[in-house]
Structure 1
Amino acid sequence: MQNITLGEINKFIVHSVGNKNSGDGVRFSDILTDFNRIERHIKQLVNNSFKYDELYQFFFLPNLELNPVYQFVSSIFKNKESFIEQSQNAGRYLYDKSTHPQIKSGELCIIYFNDCKINDEVVDCIGIFKSENKDTVLKVNNKENGFELTDEKGINTNKLDKGCLIFNIEKENGFLISVVDNTNRSSEAQYWKDDFLGIQPIKNDYHQTNQFLGITKQFVTQQLSEDFEVSKTDQIDYLNRSVDYFKKHETFDKEEFETAVFADSNVIESFRKFDQTYREENEVELSDNFEISAQAVKKQARVFKNILKLDKNFDIYIHGNRELIEKGIEKDGRKYYKIYYEEEK
């Protein structure tokens, strides 16, 4: 994970961008926005919203230079006097890409940060943020004999809807980018990352670890039961062993992982076919050996379900030894699980 610290805000501008399909239109600022009274709130919003575990870079086929947003930010980094013009170009391009019915109108804020730190290197940064959801706050006003309350809608300073930070480093590879998208998570509405920014994950240890654990989860929960007769407890056991391997190793070796997790040669062969098909269909490039990212393991472990749900009466959390739980059927047809343990806590 990169050690990143934001610098001071140097320029700030706000535009309004609507949904093109709805004919909302756009409204551009021709002057910079005064940020002196709100600078600490903006920096708080950015610091609360961004994590630097998974980083991205601009890309475009057949040539990176054809990516419009890459061109806009490159021009600003080269000549800061073009900030207003290029920010308007970015707003115009975002409007052209805002055609999905789920996309909401909102304010597009573009910010120039001076002297940010990435590890020991000092670089400038451009932030592009879009606010789509407004929070209601109650404002207390003085009156002659007391107070009155009025409601106002505004941007939440604790959570960003959409945004990216583009650091002026590794320009030839598409810069170094951190991104957040807390709305429109459905695949058909991923316009922020794909259609507008045109970015892809940097294939570092975090990306490799995250991707491989994701493939393993899909295999165990979707494909395994089609190829073999497996119980829910067997599936949970495979998931637990997968995470356990990544937690106990610093480096990943695919063959070692397959043997440790799946053991059976038929299951391993099924997994290899699924893995190859997934990579080809999703255009995923992964190495069979890489350094394991503890941050990615921690993230994926949260979504690896180890809960066995029995009707509406019981939830059994299975964290370890599969041999300590047995499944059976009574003569009258009722199903049961037998659980062995040494200590009650």
Structure 2
Amino acid sequence: MVTSFEASLSQLSVHRVGNKLLDEFYVLSDNPVEITDELLNKLLMQYFLSPFEKVNEVYRFIHSSDLNLNDVFHFSESIFKNPANFHEVSQQITKYLFDITNHPKIKSGELYVAYLKNVQLEGELLDAIGIFKSENKETYLKVYPAKGGFNLEYEEDGINIHKLDKGCLIFNSEKEEGYKVLVIDQTNRNNEAVYWKDDFLKLKIRNDSYNQTSNTLSIYKNFVTQKIDEEFELTKADKIDLLNKSMKYFKEKETFDMDEFAGEVLGNEQAIESFKTYKQQYEQDYETEIASTFDISDAAVKKQGRVYKTVLKLDRNFHIYIHGDKELIEKGFDDDKAMNYYKVYFKEES
């Protein structure tokens, strides 16, 4: 979604954030970093921006009572209003991140705050504030020519520019709605992970066609794999067929219609009502409304397609990939062997 070929790095400040529960502290730099080396500039831009090129989910800052009380929104607004305050505000951002670092497993690391110009998002060139944190360090080998051959050196605690641990891009667009924000968190995927997106940034996903499509496919998948067993007796092959039908619908249609989808894919009045109830419960639990009709996002369909399982796993001996007509596969039980079996019909091998 992000295109960076016209982007430039205007300002950069680097600080360090420790974990106060581990008696670590923060370290603030006195001045922003002056980047005079052209190659270093390119490497930093690659490190900061390339991870966002395949990010489709757009978020917004939120607050339960007043958006201006969202700290990072407030800091971002201050920088966009007056970029001359950039370094001072970057120090405030560092202190704030330190204050909400309240889980013992959160790693310390460098915090980069960048002011970027001409970053393209959704076809629009925008200024953006980048906040990036590096937590994981690696050891690198360096090989160089020497008399009669080569020598080796190593460098510890290096940063891999192809592995951004945490980051966000805050775009100077749609301020009244909470700005447009992209976020990445490649580490701490368990309970402590919420501190970056939920505790530090306080974000809510934007409710556009991409997220409507993604949420609907995700809800339907969970309904088929986790909920439908409570009301119907279905084999795993039946469930895979229901998933295949839903993916076929989203790939062939340009617009989603709830009643049309339910009729074509589920086709059973009791199952349709059960799915609609399940969807309503999701909307209440996550405070996210999913429209009855919306434009289908091909990018969201492609992404969800990767997690739609159409494989029937039989013990550790066989995997059956079901892509089409479930009437060509039958399940039975062999009394002599006391084992289940599947009978598969086909016309030719390939």
TM (norm. structure 2) is 0.94
| Mapping for residues 216-227 of structure 1, pairs under 5 Å | 216-227=220-231
Counterpart of 2:196, as a letter, is W
Residue 110 (1) aligns with residue 113 (2): yes
1:341 match = 346
The change in CA–CA distance for 1:115 and 1:2 in structure 2 (over 3 A counts) is closer
Size of the aligned set, in residue pairs, is: 345
Tell me the distance in 2 between the aligned counterparts of 1:35 and 1:178: 25
Q: Is the contact made by 1:100 and 1:189 (CA closer than 8 Å) also made in structure 2?
A: no
Matching residue's letter, 1:200: K
| 1:29 positional shift | 0.7
Asked whether 1:175 is paired with 2:179, we answer: yes
Q: CA deviation at 1:87?
A: 0.4
Q: Distance in 2 between matches of 1:208 and 1:277?
A: 16
* Distance of 1:88 and 1:115 partners within structure 2: 24
Matching residue of 2:318 = 314
Residue number in structure 2 paired with 1:81 = 84
From 123, 127, 148, give the equivalent of 1:124.
127
What code does the residue aligned with 2:136 have?
A: N
Residue 7 (structure 1) aligns with: 7
Looking at structure 2, the residues matched to 342 and 36 of structure 1 have their Cα atoms a distance apart, in angstroms, of 67
Cα distance 1:2–1:103, how it changes in 2: closer, same or farther (>3 A)? closer
Tell me the CA shift for residue 271 of structure 1.
1.1
The CA deviation at 1:225 is: 1.0
Q: What is the rounded CA distance, in whole Å, between the counterparts of 2:210 and 2:304 in structure 1?
A: 11
**Distance in 1 of aligned mates of 2:268 and 2:11:** 60
Alpha-carbon separation, structure 2, partners of 1:229 and 1:121: 51
Separation in 2, partners of 1:2, 1:189: 24
For residue 128 of structure 1, what is the amino acid of its counterpart? I
**SS of alignment partner, residue 218 of structure 2:** helix
The share of aligned pairs that are identical, in percent, is 47
- Is contact 1:125–1:168 with CA below 8 Å preserved after alignment? yes
- 2:246 is matched with which residue? 242
Shift of 1:23: 1.8
The equivalent residue for 2:42 is 40
Relative to structure 1, the CA distance from residue 55 to residue 119 in structure 2 (aligned partners, 3 Å threshold; closer, same or farther) is closer
- Cα deviation per residue 1:154-177 (whole Å; 9 max; x = unaligned)? 111112111011111111111111
Give SS of 2:303's match: helix
Equivalent AA in structure 2 for residue 168 of structure 1? N
SS in 2 for 1:164: strand
Give the conservation status (yes or no) of the 8 Å contact 2:213–2:300.
yes
RMSD: 1.8
Contact 2:9–2:115, Cα closer than 8 Å, also in 1: yes
Q: Which moved more, 1:117-126 or 1:332-341?
A: 117-126
Residues 236-272 of structure 1: CA deviation (Å, up to 9, x unaligned): 1111111111111100000111111111111112112
Q: Answer with 65-74 or 45-54: which moved more.
A: 45-54
Q: Which ranges of structure 2 fall in alignment gaps of 5 or more residues?
A: none
Residue 35 of structure 2 contacts residue 41 of structure 2 at CA under 8 Å; is this kept in 1?
Answer: yes
Distance 2:196 2:231 in 1: 37
Amino acid at match of 1:10: S
Q: Which of 67, 71, 78 is the equivalent residue of 1:68?
A: 71
Question: What is the identity, as a one-letter code, of the residue corresponding to 2:36?
Answer: N
5+ long unaligned stretches in structure 1: none
Alignment of 1:257-268 (within 5 A): 257-268=261-272
Deviations 1:198-232 (A, max 9, x none): 11111100010011111111111111112211111
